[in-house]
Amino acid sequence: MSSIIYIISMGLLLKKYQEEIVPALKKELGLKNLYQIPRVEKISLNIGIGRSLKDPQFLEIAEHTLTRISGQKPIQTKAKKSIASFKIRQGMVVGLAVTLRKKRMHDFLEKLISFTLPRIRDFRGIDEKAVDKQGNLTIGFREHIAFPEIRSDEIDKIHGIEVTIVTNAKTRENGLALFRKLGFPFKK
């Protein structure tokens, strides 16, 4: 049922941004130029391998998960230098990353707001501190099962995912205004 609703609602967020959010932000922020209005430029999804460095099966599971969530193949991030206390050598795979732009980015953003955030257990809203000085939002998920592409019956290991939404907002206030207009639920 939720996948049917998702297919119907695809593209509505971009249309809403162009028709409603842009004029509202222009008025609220007192901007004169259309190109000064904050917009989402890209979304980065990351999985840190961390504890499971020695388990090659975990890397495969995490790669499969990230592929299903994002719709594209992730790249492996490697350690730049060796750290003996973490048992990491230079060149070891320490994470996976995906960068979404354009249509995939808008589809993922819509899915994140409409389906993923409401599915999080005991969710009370995003803390405003998650928005940095440049107006970018970073959300950490402890469990990847909140995403609708992941079925609970096929989970082997639960892991976390970090989602970073990068904007062209110059200030934290402009970024917060953009995220509120997009429909992100912030704590009161």
Q: Please check the confidence at residue 2 and state whether its pLDDT lies above 60.
A: no
Q: Give the residue extent of every domain in the chain.
A: 2-182
Which structure tokens are listed for 137? Answer: 């939002």
Owner of token pair 């998960």: 65
pLDDT of 51 reads 64
The closest of 100, 101, 84 to 92, measured between CA atoms, is 84
Determine the average pLDDT of the residues in 7-16: 64
Query: Which has the higher per-residue pLDDT, 154 or 33?
Result: 33
3-state secondary structure of 119: helix
Above 70 in pLDDT, residue 32?
Answer: yes
Report the CATH fold assignment for 2-182. 50s Ribosomal Protein L5; Chain: A, (3.30.1440)
pTM score, whole prediction: 0.79
CA torsion, points 15, 127, 71, 145, in degrees to nearest 10? -130
Bridge partners for 165 per DSSP: 43, 137
DSSP calls for 162-173: EEEEEE--SSHH
